[in-house]
Amino acid sequence: MTSEGVIQECKLFFFAGHETTAILLVWTLILLSKHSDWQARARDEVLQVFGNNIPDFEDLNWLKITIYTRSYDFPEVNEDTKLGELSPPAGMIVLMPSILLHHDPSLWGDDAKEFNPERFSEGVAKATKGQPCFLPFGGGPRICIGQNFALLEAKMALALILQRFSFVLSPLYTHAPYLFLTLLQPQYGAQLIMKKL
């Protein structure tokens, strides 16, 4: 690889690997602040699995925490293609709003907008009836290479936070999701009030 190529790869890793997990954690904390019943359930799960010990990598798999998806994927078309009635040419970047796909009642049922981790209790394939409609990490040859690492990192951080703090939204928080490139950000920040347990 050329030096320029290596620099580009490093930038991609930094952008693809840092903001994504950071935003996942921010939205998860906002949502757990809003839904104190789920925060209590998530904390119970963490305490049951780890008690007050530092979480270990193996046991993180026991946690059933799910992820707040980014909102768009942007695959590039490799060759002239036919997609239903569309004919995207090679090189076209297609914006795919996975957030809509993940909330579509025709795919997920009437409770599509409910947070319901139970729907994945028998695996993603069962929940999606085998259709490729759950794409938090993309799919196909360009699927995210950091998927396992990201989930490990996020679960570790959440487990450590839940063990030590309870949290609620500050009155200063304004709910304003805002799309920056492909990432949905809280436009005015995520002000939380943390209380040491």
Residue found under tokens 């304004």: 174
Q: Which of 38, 47, 75, 184 binds ligand HEM (CB under 6 A)?
A: 75
State yes or no: is 20 an active-site residue: yes
Given 20, 21, 28, 69, the catalytic residue: 20
**Which DSSP letter does residue 58 get?**
G
Contact 168, 193 (CB under 8 A): yes
List Cβ neighbours of 166 (8 Å cut-off, separation of 6 or more). Answer: 39, 43, 194, 195, 197
17-46 binders of ligand HEM (CB under 6 A): 17, 20-21, 24
Q: How far is CA 55 from CA 25, 60, 64, 159, in A?
A: 17, 7, 14, 7
78 or 170: whose CB is closer to ligand HEM? 78
Q: Which of 62, 74, 115, 180 binds ligand HEM (CB under 6 A)?
A: 74
Q: Which of 13, 115, 178, 180 binds ligand HEM (CB under 6 A)?
A: 13
Min separation Cβ 117 and ligand HEM, Å: 16
Q: Applying CB under 6 A, does 101 fall inside the site for ligand HEM?
A: no
Q: Applying CB under 6 A, does 133 fall inside the site for ligand HEM?
A: no
**How many CB atoms are located within 10 Å of the residue 37 CB?**
8
**Which DSSP letter does residue 60 get?**
G
Q: Is 144 annotated as a binding residue?
A: yes
Given 66, 120, 133, 144, the catalytic residue: 144
State yes or no: is 120 an active-site residue: no
DSSP letter for each residue of 105-173? HHHH-TTTTS--GGGGTT-HHHHTTT-S---BTB-GGG--TTHHHHHHHHHHHHHHHHHHEEEEE-TT-
Min separation Cβ 57 and ligand HEM, Å: 15
Residues lying near ligand HEM in the complex (CB under 6 A)? 12-13, 16-17, 20-21, 24, 67, 70, 73-75, 136-138, 142, 144-146, 149-150
Q: Please report, in range form, the residues annotated as the binding site.
A: 144
